[in-house]
Amino acid sequence: MDNYEETFETWNKVASLYQEKFMDLDLYDDTYETVCGSVSKDKAALLEIGCGPGNITKYLLNKRPDFNIFGIDISPNMFELARKNNRAARFEIMDCRHISDLKSKFDGIICGFCLPYLSKTDSEALISDCYKLLTEQGLLYISFVEGDPEKSGFQVGSSGDRTYFYFYSLDYLTAILKKYNFDIIHEYKVFYKRTETENEIHTILIAKKSPTS
């Protein structure tokens, strides 16, 4: 079993626990408000990558019921929860490494904490694919955990199951976004209390697609 396979199995197993912990978490609400305010198009098409139980989609639709949201997740259990939590959105089971197969264009793409579970190579490919899927001036939202990439590795959750976790530096992802013609328009840093003794910096970047020269 490779790192991805074990991680995906864990996410599927803990889907209900994840929903209990994060469905009503308001820690990132300011960043979602920015998305709602930055996508001015009426009935805009949004793609949510790694939608989990649909917590971000639910927030966005509560604020902007005109959004047309399509969510994907590798976990069948997450997919089922997302559908139950968001009757107005559309969902599909899909590996985010295969979004280049999608034929639609989107006015915004939300990628909430997918990068911590993708290697540098796959994260760069994802950002490149997002550029191709976005309409002109389309919005990209990505969040990740800042840290030393050398400390990436398996983490054990409260259930005892493991996920392979990748840390990223802000400089690295800023450079990747620039490489693929994204202009960062907002940057947020959120302090997340992981345990009683451990804090993490969660960084959210909101960027717009710029035209190629």
pLDDT for position 131: 97
* Interval 9-17 mean pLDDT: 94
Residue 213: pLDDT over 60: no
Instruction: Find out whether 117 and 7 touch, Cβ atoms under 8 Å.
Output: yes
Q: Where are the beta strands (DSSP E) in 18-111?
A: 45-49, 68-73, 90-93, 106-111
pLDDT for position 29: 96
Give backbone dihedrals phi and psi of 102, rounded to 5 degrees, phi first. -70, 140
Residue 36: pLDDT over 80: yes
> Residue 149 and residue 125: Cα distance in Å, rounded?
18
Domain count, the chain: 1
Q: How many residues does the chain have?
A: 213
pLDDT tens digits, 152-188: 999 998 788 899 999 999 999 999 999 999 999 999 9
* Interval 61-86 mean pLDDT: 97
> Residue 161 and residue 10: Cα distance in Å, rounded?
6
Instruction: Find out whether 203 and 191 touch, Cβ atoms under 8 Å.
Output: no
Lowest mean pLDDT among 79-83, 138-142, 165-169, 193-197: 193-197
pLDDT for position 178: 97
Residue 22: pLDDT over 90: no
- Which range marks the domain in which residue 197 is found? 3-209
- Alpha carbons within 13 A on the beta-carbon side of 177: 24
CATH of the domain at 126: 3.40.50.150
pLDDT tens digits, 118-128: 999 999 999 99
Q: What is the pTM of this model?
A: 0.95
